[in-house]
């Protein structure tokens, strides 16, 4: 079932939290899914959101419509929409976002452009999400280590 990160292992079996790969798809399809909406879903519905592809225009549209129907059916309220970024930072391998550099420096790491380029879009997305202010950042150092960005 899907590609989960090691730093997510404490909730992968139950899918009690929204995994990064689903959060990536949500941002790609312009859906803001609350954890309370996620918790209204069955395990099978959560697994479907992990498994459904969300790469091509058709897949993105289907993913978006699937979640909209699911949330409306489960909660009786429409899902919130996000603006879909036209050039999201996680797809730009040529620039390390300042938020990531700052968060890396807080833990004594300098992230090079070469390291940033070596990451997959999903890994870059995870680091961006984990480096945001107001986010529980305990997984940022774990992700940096998992992505081999820390000298061991």
Calpha distance 64→79 (Å, rounded):
10
- Do 75 and 94 sit in the same domain of this protein? no
Calpha distance 69→12 (Å, rounded):
24
Q: Is residue 55 part of a domain?
A: yes
- Do 74 and 120 sit in the same domain of this protein? no
pTM for the predicted model, two decimal places: 0.91
Calpha distance 119→49 (Å, rounded):
23
Number of domains the chain is built from: 2
Per-residue pLDDT, averaged over 98-104, amounts to 93
- Do 12 and 72 sit in the same domain of this protein? yes
Q: Is residue 151 part of a domain?
A: no
Query: Roughly how many angstroms between the first and final C-alpha of the chain, as a whole number?
Result: 30
Q: Closest by alpha carbon to 77, among 127, 129, 40, 50?
A: 40
- Do 70 and 118 sit in the same domain of this protein? no
- Do 38 and 16 sit in the same domain of this protein? yes
For 90-125, b/e burial (b = at least 16 CB within 10 A) is: beeeeebbebbeebbeeeebebeeebbeebeebbbb
- Do 97 and 69 sit in the same domain of this protein? no
Confidence of residue 123 (pLDDT cuts 50, 70, 90): very high
Last residue of a domain, one of 81, 100, 132: 81
Which residues have a Cβ under 8 Å from the Cβ of 94 and sit 6 or more positions away? 113, 117
Q: Which residue has the higher pLDDT, 121 or 2?
A: 121
Per-residue pLDDT for 84 more than 70?
Answer: yes
- C-alpha to C-alpha distances, 130 to 25, 64, 72, nearest whole angstrom: 16, 24, 29
Per-residue pLDDT for 1 more than 70?
Answer: no
- Do 73 and 127 sit in the same domain of this protein? no
- Do 15 and 73 sit in the same domain of this protein? yes
pLDDT in tens, 64-77: 999 999 999 999 99
Last residue of a domain, one of 36, 54, 81: 81
pLDDT at 135: 61
Residues spanned by the domain of 62? 6-81
Q: Is residue 152 part of a domain?
A: no
């Amino acid at each position: 079932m899907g590609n989960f990160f090691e730093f997510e292992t404490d909730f992968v079996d139950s899918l009690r939290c929204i995994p990064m790969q689903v959060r990536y798809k949500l941002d790609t399809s312009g859906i803001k899914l609350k954890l309370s909406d996620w918790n209204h879903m069955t395990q099978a519905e959560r697994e479907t959101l992990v498994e459904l592809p969300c790469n091509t225009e058709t897949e993105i549209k289907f993913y978006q419509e699937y979640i909209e129907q699911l949330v409306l059916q489960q909660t009786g309220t429409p899902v919130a929409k996000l603006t879909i970024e036209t050039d999201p930072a996680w797809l730009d391998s040529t620039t390390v976002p300042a938020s990531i550099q700052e968060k890396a420096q807080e833990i004594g790491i300098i992230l090079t452009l070469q390291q940033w380029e070596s990451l997959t879009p999903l890994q870059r997305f995870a680091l961006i999400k984990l480096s945001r202010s107001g986010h529980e950042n305990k997984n940022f150092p774990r992700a940096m280590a998992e992505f081999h960005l820390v000298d061991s």
